[in-house]
Structure 1
Amino acid sequence: MSGTSRVPRLGVEEEFLLLDPATGRPLPYATQAGAARACTPPSVRKRCSTSCCSQETATPVCRTLPEVRAHLLRMRRTLADAANLEGCVLAACAASPFADGAWPVPVTDKPRYQQLHEQAPLLTDEQLINGQHVHVEIQDDQARIEALNRVRPWVPLLLALSASSPLWRGRDTGFASWRYLVNDRWPVSGIPPRFHDARDYHRRSRDLVDRQMVVDPGQLYWLARASARFPTLEVRAFDVQIRVDDAVALAGLVRALVMTVLAEAEAGLPAPDPAPEALAAAVWHAARNGLTGHLHDPRDLQPRPAATVVRHALTHLEPALQQAGDQQPVRRVMERLLKEGNGAVRLRRALDEHGWPAVLSQLGDHTQDR
């Protein structure tokens, strides 16, 4: 894609945990031969994850949000049914919320993950976190890096909308997205730097691998990056969503954002260039507060009420949302998040009102039917 001459295709990856239905503790499927087979049905596009209690799926390339929704529902329901047959609960939880039993959870028996575990044992053991990754097609390499540079100030807002991991190993962390804090401990993470052009991006990425600072390009854990496998911009800022409709709306929002920033580039508008320390701090505060209190506005990184920032963002992205036909589903979910709260708010509400069993019930019940 170059600019907004057409609506780009997109795809979504999601990560899940397998939980014990009685205690909510992570359940390593690799210790159960039946579960290992059952939880990888052929109708699901599955990818490897670090932990043996994780499942990761990817949609096919999609043109519309209804396509995305249909694939996400199909894969979630197929995995959930298979997991239930083997005594597991499939949960779209962005961080392991319950007090752990057996620790550590085994690492997936793949050379890459074993190498990561050798380099950082405790970090890998604690990688019981799950995200949602949205890929938006941008065929032109230079346009892809132009879009990456321009979405950087938007990352705090994206993270705040998706924040759904306030609970970690039996306690409330005080953060809306603890997943972000866990993942930010790796050597290359957080907000990506600003790149001069595509050549600069690829040179600096290769340099990190050549200097053995990361295992491979897949360990560039920036919250947004140019995909190493597809001609896409990959936004990785999101906590995995408990509800499918929330996941779909976030995917539509990212597509509209990419269309908008590329249109701005074609119009000759200057790319924003906020100070990297300000962007990093804004992401930290987004992980801390979610949609409660203030957010740092993508326009100038000034703190404003979350509802004000979200609604201004929707107005700014309105032309692209309309062009893609995504206005109604995206706006409907965004208004519900502002009214009812994001996943972090809902999980805390369940815990406060009904205790830990309600948290497990919400994660298990809503993962496949909402």
Structure 2
Amino acid sequence: MRSVGVEEELLLVDAETGEPRALSTAVLAAASQGSGGQDHAFQKELHRQQLEFATHPQTGMGELAAEIARWRAEAAGHAGELGAAVAALATSPLPAGPAISSGERYRWLEEQFGLTAQEQITCGCHVHVSVESDEEGVAVLDRIRPWLSVLLAMSANSLFWQGEDSGYSSYRSRVWGRWPSSGPVETFGSADRYHEQVRAMVGTGTLRDEGMIYFDARLSHHYPTVEIRVADVCLDASTTVLLATLVRALVETAAREWRAGEPPARHGVGLLRLAAWRAGRSGLDEQLIHPGTMGPAPAEAVVRALFDHVRDALDDCGDLIPAQEGLAGLLKDGNGARVQRDLLRRTGSLRAVVAECARRTCS
């Protein structure tokens, strides 16, 4: 069974005002002290208002869920010692200014990319799924391209930007799209062509290194995995687990198609960019672009098409019933964007939105 690992980026906020706080250095120091000098799961991100953790590779979704809950709770505990909280929000509802982390890499990003780097206070969720080889990994990347926008719609959790409703369900996806290497890509056909493209992109001098290949899905340059990077960080940990469950099944389905000699869909990058824009705009509340027809369809129908596409792989992994139940809950209750919008409608306060989202992050 393929292993799955998750990276989540969390927002550090003031426990009283809900405003982002540049405390990642202090939180990391507290985490190091609390672990007695042993390794812990946390690391800094581009901005000091962000904190990232990574789970271990897991084959059981119960174990993955427990680890996500553990690291969210530990992050909240360390932040709480500093009068702060953590919120699984992909953008800050309240205004936030740049606070770039220290280090040569981050200084280089700020110098080279200016406002694009300064505005990247955005939190994503990356799902790693093991593959047997780069060849299998690239075959998977070629075949999952049309479905990535659906994952974005499901995870959408960033409607506010600098204190205003952006009109998007995932405005993070629009801000992230300003990086020159981000977004959907063409089919590669082989691992050699994939690596050739990466080398050529780095060779332009625009990107510092391979770590700046920000495709919606890529081969990890650290682990023997494909890394699906398209999603917002999810407000509820249960949504993260559902996302990871569907991603593993999507990878397995694509690998089976490759082994059976089924070619990938030939949708052009232009259509995939439109599908990603629509997913970021609509989330689960309006129409999406159906990966099969590349025409408009109700969001629920598109999400259910993803489920049907990976049903056999879910069943073989023992994940069919939990995924079915999780999907039903998500469609009923909504993603983080819908929750945030409903909270603002009820309370009239962005501060209250942040406070409730911080509570839900660890519930």
Shorter-chain TM-score: which interval?
A: over 0.9
Deviations 1:60-92 (A, max 9, x none): 111111111111111110110110111111111
The amino acid that maps onto 1:356 is: L
1:1-370 to 2 correspondences below 5 Å: 7-29=1-23, 34-40=26-32, 41-42=34-35, 44-100=40-96, 103-105=97-99, 107-354=100-347, 355-369=349-363
Count of matched residue pairs: 358
Deviations 1:199-231 (A, max 9, x none): 011111011112212111111111111111111
SS in 2 for 1:189: coil
* Contact 2:152/2:276 (<8 A) preserved: yes
* Contact 2:15/2:355 (<8 A) preserved: no
* Contact 1:44/1:75 (<8 A) preserved: no
Pick closer, same or farther for the CA change 1:36–1:138 going to 2, 3 Å: closer
The amino acid that maps onto 2:77 is: D
The amino acid that maps onto 2:358 is: G
Pick closer, same or farther for the CA change 1:367–1:265 going to 2, 3 Å: same
SS in 2 for 1:164: coil
Task: Give 1:36 shift.
Answer: 4.8
* Contact 1:44/1:78 (<8 A) preserved: no
Pick closer, same or farther for the CA change 1:45–1:339 going to 2, 3 Å: same
Distance in 2 separating the partners of 1:270 and 1:182 = 33
Task: Give 1:300 shift.
Answer: 2.1
Deviations 1:26-56 (A, max 9, x none): 10116xx754522555363123310111110
SS in 2 for 1:236: strand
The amino acid that maps onto 2:284 is: L
Distance in 2 separating the partners of 1:302 and 1:367 = 35
* Contact 1:165/1:177 (<8 A) preserved: yes
SS in 1 for 2:127: strand
Distance in 2 separating the partners of 1:227 and 1:252 = 19
More deviation, 289-298/244-253: 289-298
The amino acid that maps onto 2:274 is: A
User: Aligned-residue CA RMSD in angstroms?
Assistant: 1.4
SS in 2 for 1:11: strand
Task: Give 1:169 shift.
Answer: 1.4
Distance in 1 separating the partners of 2:136 and 2:344 = 45
* Contact 2:147/2:306 (<8 A) preserved: no
Gaps of 5+ in 2: none
Runs of 4+ with >4 A deviation: 33-36
* Contact 1:151/1:261 (<8 A) preserved: yes
SS in 1 for 2:167: coil
* Contact 1:38/1:86 (<8 A) preserved: no
Task: Give 1:310 shift.
Answer: 1.4
* Contact 1:23/1:98 (<8 A) preserved: no
More deviation, 73-82/37-46: 37-46
Distance in 2 separating the partners of 1:196 and 1:128 = 34
